């Protein structure tokens, strides 16, 4: 397909715009697209920004910073180096010991930093209710902080009905 602007070069940029349910298409070569200002080709995709957006890490910095390697858990005595070999922490204190350096790793491995786990069917309703109450209480607190008192009253009533 030829460029609709210059009719000399092959169209490599296909621009589609919808305004008021009317579709407008333009097929331009790179040079004409640059001149029209529709699309800029000056910057290519930044791999660092891409990785930060997708998995929360940067290729420029190590996935796990070197600072926790010097630390040893005061409760179980496990070093960060041992954790890397085994792949498991020694105790719950290790999470506090190694701190925020573990959050990107946990997000990358598990997709989240909170564990929700499975619930037996006999207790699922009560667990779901308690989780819903927790969420509602957080929303209530935010509504009060933002001085949205009507919304806060509605949320309060929902909390009371669940309790």
Asked whether the whole model's pTM tops 0.85, one would answer no
Which tokens sit at 44? 């290519």
Predicted pLDDT at 144: 92
pLDDT of residue 55: 56
pLDDT at 140: 93
Q: Tell me, what DSSP letter sits at residue 15?
A: E
Identify the CA nearest to 109 among candidates 70, 83, 130.
83
Within the chain, residue ranges assigned H as helices are 30-36, 47-55, 80-86, 93-98, 103-110, 124-145, 149-162
**Average pLDDT for runs of 10 along the chain of length 163:** 86 79 82 68 54 54 49 82 77 77 73 74 80 90 91 91 85
Q: Which tokens in the block code for residue 18?
A: 């919808």
Looking at residue 34, its pLDDT comes to: 78
pLDDT at 52: 59
């Amino acid at each position: 397909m030829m460029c609709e602007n210059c009719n000399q070069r092959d169209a490599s940029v296909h621009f589609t715009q919808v305004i008021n349910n009317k579709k407008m298409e333009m097929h331009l070569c790179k040079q004409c697209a640059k001149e029209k200002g529709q699309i800029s080709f000056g910057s290519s995709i930044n791999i660092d920004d891409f990785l930060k957006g997708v998995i929360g890490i940067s290729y420029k910095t190590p996935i796990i910073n070197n600072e926790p390697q010097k630390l040893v858990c005061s409760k179980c005595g496990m070093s960060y180096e041992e954790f890397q070999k085994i792949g498991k922490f020694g105790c719950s204190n290790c999470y506090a010991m190694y701190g925020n350096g573990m959050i990107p790793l946990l997000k990358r491995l598990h997709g989240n930093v909170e564990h929700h786990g499975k619930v037996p069917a006999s207790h699922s309703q009560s667990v779901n209710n308690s989780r819903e109450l927790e969420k509602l209480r957080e929303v209530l607190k935010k509504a009060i902080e933002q001085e949205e008192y009507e919304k806060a009253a509605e949320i309060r009533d929902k909390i009371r009905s669940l309790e």
